Structure 1
Amino acid sequence: MASFALLLLLLLAISCLAVDQESSQRPQALGNSTSTSLRLGYYGSSCPNAETIVRQTLMTLLMQDPTAGAALLRLAFHDCDVMGCDASIILDSTPQFQSELESPKNFGIRRVDFIDRIKASLEGSCPRTVSCADIIALAARDSILLAGGPNIPVLTGRKDSTRADLVTANRKLATATSSVEEILQDFASMGINPQEAVSLLGAHTLGVGHCLSVVNRLYPSVDTKMDLMYSMALRVLCPSPKFYLNITAIPNDSTMFRFDNMFFKDAALRRVLFALDAAVESDPRTSIYTSKFAQNQGLFFDTFSRAFVKLTSVVNSEATQVRSNCRAINS
């Protein structure tokens, strides 16, 4: 834990540097829509320290829970895939709509309280200025950086949705058993090409999985795409096909706290948790990229950064608010 804290302190110095301007061009039209107001440094005048506050608050929170970075990264993915990046995912249920968090496909989404705490820090300096949607995107970006990944030039200027969409969440969000075709089509709708799509799956390098998402590969027989010794270890952790009897969290790869290309190296050895990840490694449309990323971490970082900017630039054109409370629309 001491070494993790030291890493965070060292990265704090990095966080004070200006975001790399070489990648500042806006992405092409994507998914739902893109807003011409999205840009680097959107809060330069209205809240000059906004991104510093996000990063410094997050660093403090990660010292309390080093596993939260992976959770915040997944939160951003699931927010942007439903109506665009609009913080609809963290709205509580109301008589008018059900929360997207009630979707089974959002199983395991957590640390929304960290978004609340970052929002509270920002409200203290710049009331009703920084959107919850931007906080989610920035917290994901900084979680990547603080785990040793690239410093991604994420644009800002998103607005917050005034509703959630549980129906779309149930229909659209990917699962551990989604097909390669489904993933490629979903990302293509956001202007993300196959190589970039594979790089985004590399986000699985952080965090853990659960037996819920693995038992289908272990019982009644072991998936042939899984390394035998790896499957034996997983059966110890998930000893029953009834997933609710298994509460073990399983590292996604052998460096679960570090954002690196280990996920792709493990994939080459058939040591990945999810059926989707195994399929991406074996599908000829995508395996060429998993191999390249396993061999070249710099290529993975560059491709992931480009894809993440595209993903987080998909916006909801109907989103109009800057919520003061991220869990509820403004009255």
Structure 2
Amino acid sequence: MANSKLLLAFSLHLVLALFVFDLANAQGLKLEFYKKSCPSAEYIIKKTTKDFISRAPTLAAPLLRMHFHDCFVRGCDGSVLLNSTSSNQAEKDAIPNQTLRGYQVIDAAKAALEKACPGVVSCADIVALVARDAVLEINGPFWSVPTGRRDGRVSIASEALTNLPAPFFNITQLIASFASKGLSVKDLVVLSGGHTIGIGHCTSFTNRLYNFTGRGDTDPSMDQNYIANLKNRCKPGDTTTFVQMDPGSSQKFDSSYYTVVGKRRGLFQSDAALLDDSTTRAYVQLSSNPSGSSTFLNDFEESMVKMGNIGVLTGSSGEIRKQCSRIN
């Protein structure tokens, strides 16, 4: 019986691995893309990431967020890294991206790679690999990252505003936003679990505390004790203070985010919205239990691979930037 269970478990893992491999190949990506052209590429990225995260573990969350923000605008093409020019305001300067951090990690990895293998490794691949390695450094899950992405040449601030799901989105808007990128309702609730690490700025949720419907009221879907706690931290008009998205566990990658949401203490309206759909609500309830933790971590790995395949440029499309902040 024990051998049968082990065989079944192995078979399931093999099926998942083949699914991920086939999905990546369908997009023109593959595992170990740089095996011949730059054999040390993934090691260099991992070492660079480790060096930064060991000194500043709180960088893991923004680096994960950077990957998400990159992929949701023009696909995973590194466009979020481009600087604005005199004639164009880039994604980096759009309001949703003004709180992004961790560009120095990407730049350091790119500089090291340019010394080892000039003009070979894309910034888009660096973003994807750094996000994975940063999460792994804080004892989060590991997922295979197929590579071969190329860098985009276009970055427009207004596209970030129209493509990134806002913290005030309701469940209908969230589902539509993720569906437009080829992601399912399950992917939505799973990837939302990334909020188990990191912070939220007061400006992203103070409307829920002070003026939810324009009448000086609070959001009735939020736990009143939590509202009182947040009011002590965030005063009206506060643009600098931030709080943990998963209080007490913001540097540990686990499923406790779902416990917080289940208690009506999700920081953003988009967190609270997960209780407004039967599928997402069931997942929140499942992952709130200790037995659901491993399910969430496995699901997160799968959804991150799917997200990393959104709109990728491969082959002769795009370019391999020499510097991640500007086109060649």
Q: 8 Å contact 1:176–1:276 — kept in the other structure?
A: yes
Deviations 1:40-73 (A, max 9, x none): 1111111112111111111111123221110101
Does residue 53 of the first structure (1) align with residue 44 of the second (2)? Answer: yes
Does residue 290 of the first structure (1) align with residue 284 of the second (2)? Answer: yes
Question: Does the C-alpha gap of structure 1 residues 68 and 265 become closer, same or farther in structure 2, counting only changes over 3 Å?
Answer: same
In structure 2, what is the Cα distance between the partners aligned to 1:61 and 1:24? 33
Q: 8 Å contact 1:89–1:164 — kept in the other structure?
A: yes
In structure 2, what is the Cα distance between the partners aligned to 1:200 and 1:327? 27
Residue matched to 1:256: 250
Which AA in structure 2 matches 1:243?
D
Q: 8 Å contact 1:148–1:259 — kept in the other structure?
A: yes
Residue matched to 1:328: 326
Deviation at 1:97, TM superposition (A): 2.9
Does residue 196 of the first structure (1) align with residue 187 of the second (2)? Answer: yes
In structure 2, what is the Cα distance between the partners aligned to 1:64 and 1:259? 18
Deviation at 1:206, TM superposition (A): 0.8
Does residue 241 of the first structure (1) align with residue 232 of the second (2)? Answer: no
Rg (Cα) greater in structure: 2
TM-score (norm 1): 0.87
Which AA in structure 1 matches 2:225?
M
Candidates 256, 263, 279, aligned match of 2:273: 279
RMSD: 2.0
Where do residues 1-331 of structure 1 align in structure 2 (5 Å cutoff)?
23-26=17-20, 36-219=27-210, 220-238=216-234, 240-244=235-239, 247-253=240-246, 254-295=248-289, 296-317=292-313, 319-330=317-328
Work out the percentage of aligned pairs sharing the same amino acid: 35
In structure 2, what is the Cα distance between the partners aligned to 1:37 and 1:234? 46
Q: 8 Å contact 1:61–1:114 — kept in the other structure?
A: yes
Q: 8 Å contact 2:78–2:152 — kept in the other structure?
A: yes
Q: 8 Å contact 1:97–1:163 — kept in the other structure?
A: no
Question: Does the C-alpha gap of structure 1 residues 27 and 221 become closer, same or farther in structure 2, counting only changes over 3 Å?
Answer: farther
Which AA in structure 1 matches 2:241?
T
Structure 2's unaligned 5+ residue stretches are 1-12, 211-215
Q: 8 Å contact 1:260–1:297 — kept in the other structure?
A: yes
The secondary structure found in structure 2 opposite 1:250 is strand
The secondary structure found in structure 2 opposite 1:218 is helix
The secondary structure found in structure 2 opposite 1:209 is strand
In structure 2, what is the Cα distance between the partners aligned to 1:25 and 1:56? 29
Deviations 1:180-226 (A, max 9, x none): 11221222233322112100000111100010012011003332222
Q: 8 Å contact 1:118–1:135 — kept in the other structure?
A: yes
Which AA in structure 1 matches 2:237?
K
The secondary structure found in structure 2 opposite 1:67 is helix
In structure 2, what is the Cα distance between the partners aligned to 1:172 and 1:274? 18
The secondary structure found in structure 2 opposite 1:217 is helix
Structure 1's unaligned 5+ residue stretches are 1-19
In structure 1, what is the Cα distance between the partners aligned to 2:278 and 2:93? 35
Deviation at 1:27, TM superposition (A): 7.1
In structure 2, what is the Cα distance between the partners aligned to 1:281 and 1:27? 33
Moved more, 254-263 or 96-105: 96-105
Deviation at 1:111, TM superposition (A): 1.6
In structure 2, what is the Cα distance between the partners aligned to 1:116 and 1:168? 24
In structure 2, what is the Cα distance between the partners aligned to 1:280 and 1:230? 18
User: When the two structures are aligned, how many residues end up with a matched partner?
Assistant: 305
Q: 8 Å contact 1:27–1:313 — kept in the other structure?
A: no
